[in-house]
Chains A and B, each alone.
Chain A
Amino acid sequence: MKGRSDGRGRPDAKLLASLREAKADHHRRQAQLPLPEKVRLVVELQRLCLPLLERRRPLAPWERPWQIEP
């Protein structure tokens, strides 16, 4: 981190590159998960997203978290 004259710290190019690489690595690891684990995460995301979606618009009858085993 390099300081600035206004006192606000800014990340240097090396730190930014490392943060971006970590993010890309996270996406790569998510993509390599076993398929049942991905489906389990999809259902978890459904549970998380549903209340947000419900606030924006009426839901279709099929827009519910799947009642399944992955």
Chain B
Amino acid sequence: MASFAGALRALNELKASGVVDEYAVAGAMALVFWTEPIPTFDLDVLVFLPEQPSPIVSLEPIYRWTSARGYASQSEHVLIEGVPVQFLPAHNALADEAIETAATLDYEGVPVRVVRAEYLVALYLEPGARTLKRRERAAALKESTSIDPTLLAEILGRFHLEP
């Protein structure tokens, strides 16, 4: 049977094969790593794509890689080992830093890079992404013990984000 560890292993293989330069789990599943379980149906993965000849970013190399391994695509998600995964190319400097500073955690012997809680809060508070649900998640993270308040204040200040 498919397993969550298998999905994480596939992410590491995606990086090892050079299809992505780096990755970090983000979104609700990253929140689950740092706080408590919440309902979510997919695994968001921020990625650095290798330099491409065209200025238009394409996820095609990722989809080619996953398809070659028999993972089916469902609209913008790829079903990897039973887990719908959405790949999100880093869209700005905050996302870049979130990937660069991600923590490497251990999931049943599989290393997995996860966006740190302080960066998750900042990503949830980005102007284009401030839905009620995201603000609630940011609030839950801020109350958790996994947050360094000094680091969070520094990140929010530097990226001009409203707490």
Contacts and interface: CB of A to CB of B under 8 A. Distances in A.
Given A68-B82, A69-B1, A42 B107 contact: no
Nearest to B85: A62
B83 A68 contact: yes
B42 A62 contact: yes
B39 A38 contact: no
Contacts of A70: 3-4
Interface string B25-42: 000010011111111111
A61 B36 CA distance: 26
Contacts, number: 81
B75 A45 contact: no
Chain A at the B interface: SS class:
helix
A41 B37 contact: yes
Interface string A29-68: 0110101101101100110110000000000111110111
Q: Bin the interface of chain B by size.
A: 20 to 34
B136 to A, nearest CB: 14
A28 interface: yes
Contacts of A62: 41-42, 74-75, 77, 79, 84
A48 B146 CA distance: 27
B144 interface: yes
Contacts of A68: 1-4, 6-7, 81-83
Contacts of B37: 30, 33, 38-39, 41-42, 45
Nearest to A37: B37
A46 B75 CA distance: 20
Contacts of A39: 4, 32, 37
B105 A35 contact: yes
B162 to A, nearest CB: 25
Nearest to B144: A31
Interface of B: 1-4, 6-7, 29, 32-42, 74-75, 77, 79, 81-84, 105, 107-108, 144-146
Given A42-B40, A66-B83, 19 more contacts: A30-B35, A31-B35, A35-B105, A35-B108, A38-B33, A39-B4, A39-B32, A39-B37, A42-B29, A42-B39, A46-B39, A48-B39, A60-B74, A61-B74, A64-B41, A66-B41, A68-B3, A68-B81, A69-B2
